Amino acid sequence: MSKEKVLHVASGWGMLAVDLLMFVGSIACFVLSLISLIQAADSALPVPVLAVFGLILSVVILIAAIIVACGFFSLQPGQARICVLFGQYKGTVRDEGLRWANPFFSKSLGGVLGESSSSLKVGEEGVSFDASKSTSATISLRARTHDGERIKVNDKMGNPIEIATVVVWHVADTAKAAFDVDNYESYVSMQTETALRHVASIYAYDHMEDEDDNNNAITLRSNIEEVSATLKAELDRKLSVAGVSVDDARLTHLAYAPEIAQAMLRRQQADAVIAARKKIVEGAVSMVDMALSQLSDGGIVEFDDDRKAVMASNLMVVLCGESEAQPVVNTGSLYQ
């Protein structure tokens, strides 16, 4: 695997002054040599050797100045340039501003997706990246956002769900991004979908039972932070091959698939009704027990087992009934 090497190159301003002097010197040498040749021709004198040498020297200096001018490049904050000399990786320049490096460093990298060089193809199978053309050797180090599309996947319980994520990432190792994968942006897109499918399959969408052990389990709906941390760790592991570091990964959409959404909604409503009933019954039982205890302990009414059963039954009907209870005045005893 490749590893980034930091390369420091000369400032471009000093070399710019040298290059301008070379252009001026070439022009001056050419003009002086040409004047000398014209004067020799007018005077019918032999061709001066120095004049011919001056012309040749001016052409050589001009060619050298043009070659030197090819070594200038500029980098903005958050950019880096990969330097490749005749197919050999020499290092990565991260210093911003006007810079000058070896003019024979490659200006483009074939098959590598550089900044502002992505070419998209839209077909029946979706959107794909085209990196067949040579692209710039300059790579952006800025944070980027990958907004994934909604995909359908089965959760841990086998229920089909729709899920989507947004990933914030940046290039951390330019050498790996350029040489270890063919197209690092496409690699990020594909591995994000793969990691999302894997994470969604190891967690259930929601708690399916009411037992305490299941309530403590991590689910996609209830434990967003834990699921996001797991997704980020999975992406860090997969994308490290391409020199990409993940800053954040969050779920942007989570829902049951349409074919089971209505059934799951009815299940959630039933769970809510059962939980409410359970709470009402627990409260009613405690209130009945308290009422019977206070009546017996205070000596207000002496209850045998039958009377306790009748009293408990009446109180439970009053406390647990959905409609208001209609009072019935009993003029006899509890047994009539």
Q: Which range has the top average pLDDT, 245-249, 257-261, 287-291? A: 245-249
Cα–Cα distance measured from residue 53 to residue 43, given in angstroms and rounded to the nearest whole number: 20
How much is the average pLDDT of 143-168? 89
What residue type is assigned to position 321 of the chain?
A: G
88 pLDDT above the threshold of 50: yes
**Domain edges within the chain:** 10-106, 142-256, 266-320
| pLDDT tens digit sequence for 206-254 | 776 544 445 567 888 888 889 999 999 999 999 999 999 999 999 998 8
Q: Do you know the residue count of the chain?
A: 336
* pLDDT for res 20: 94
Cα–Cα distance measured from residue 89 to residue 194, given in angstroms and rounded to the nearest whole number: 31
284 pLDDT above the threshold of 70: yes
What does DSSP say about strands 151-154 and 134-136: parallel, antiparallel, or unpaired?
Answer: unpaired
> Of 3.40.50.12780, 3.30.479.30, 2.40.110.10, 3.30.70.270, which CATH number belongs to 142-256?
3.30.479.30
268 pLDDT above the threshold of 80: no
Higher-pLDDT residue of 163 and 217 is: 163
39, containing H or E segment: helix 12-42
Kindly report which listed range (228-237, 257-266, 278-287) carries the lowest average pLDDT score: 257-266
Q: Where are the beta strands (DSSP E) in 226-266?
A: 244-256
Kindly report which listed range (43-57, 107-121, 122-136) carries the lowest average pLDDT score: 122-136
Residues 6+ apart with CB under 8 A from 330: 336
